[in-house]
Structure 1
Amino acid sequence: MTSKTSLTRSGWGIIVLTAAALALGGCGRKGPLELPPTASNTAPTAQVTGDTETERASQPSVFNSTYGTDAAPAAPKGSKKSFILDPLLGN
């Protein structure tokens, strides 16, 4: 006797992808990074190196979101291109 609810190839694919997403989504722990076993828990003392906020803000970095905000745009503004939904959006 055959069942009419047998899964097709795409059905199995969806099940496998969902299981993989759930398994990979559960990896890791939420929270701060852990120190290595040989490291001490005491915070290092702040050393004066002459690095100020203005000097750090003027240096490019992945973590510096304010770098280049005062600079002029690199390219001129282009012309407006029409889009199919412009009449609906009121543009």
Structure 2
Amino acid sequence: MTSNHRLTPSGWALILVGVAALTLSGCGRKGPLDLPPTASSAQTPVAPEGDTETRRAAEPSLFNPNYGTDAPPAAAKGRQRSFVLDPLLGN
């Protein structure tokens, strides 16, 4: 028994759009970050006496935009290489 069902270009396009939609739907999700399995939400850190804002600004953190602003650059600035879109970007 043979079958003569062949996908037309519109059928392939529909499959491609479906696969792309399924792939992109799993890229991320909204909401807070998940805690590690070993973390417990009942623990609260005890804050020591003192200026907490100054101490907090000195701590490294992903959510601290001011951390490292006074530090020197990690690497020396290299030479600028040309890029194809430089004339369009005005560089």
Give the letter aligned to residue 15 of structure 1: G
* 2:80 alignment counterpart: 80
Q: Percent identity?
A: 43
* 1:71 alignment counterpart: 71
SS at structure 2 position matched to 1:15: helix
Instruction: Give yes or no for the alignment of 1:7 onto 2:18.
Output: no
Number of equivalences: 72
Please state how far the C-alpha of 1:13 moved relative to its aligned partner: 3.6
Could you report, residue by residue, the CA deviation over 1:37-78 in whole angstroms, capped at 9, with x for unpaired residues?
Answer: xxxxxxxxxx86325100111011122121101111111111
* 2:49 alignment counterpart: 50
Which 5+ residue runs of structure 2 have no aligned equivalent?
Answer: 32-45
Please state how far the C-alpha of 1:87 moved relative to its aligned partner: 2.9
Whole-angstrom CA distance in 2 between matches of 1:20 and 1:85 = 30
Please state how far the C-alpha of 1:19 moved relative to its aligned partner: 5.4
C-alpha distance 54-90 of structure 1, shift in aligned 2 (>3 A): same
Whole-angstrom CA distance in 2 between matches of 1:70 and 1:53 = 17
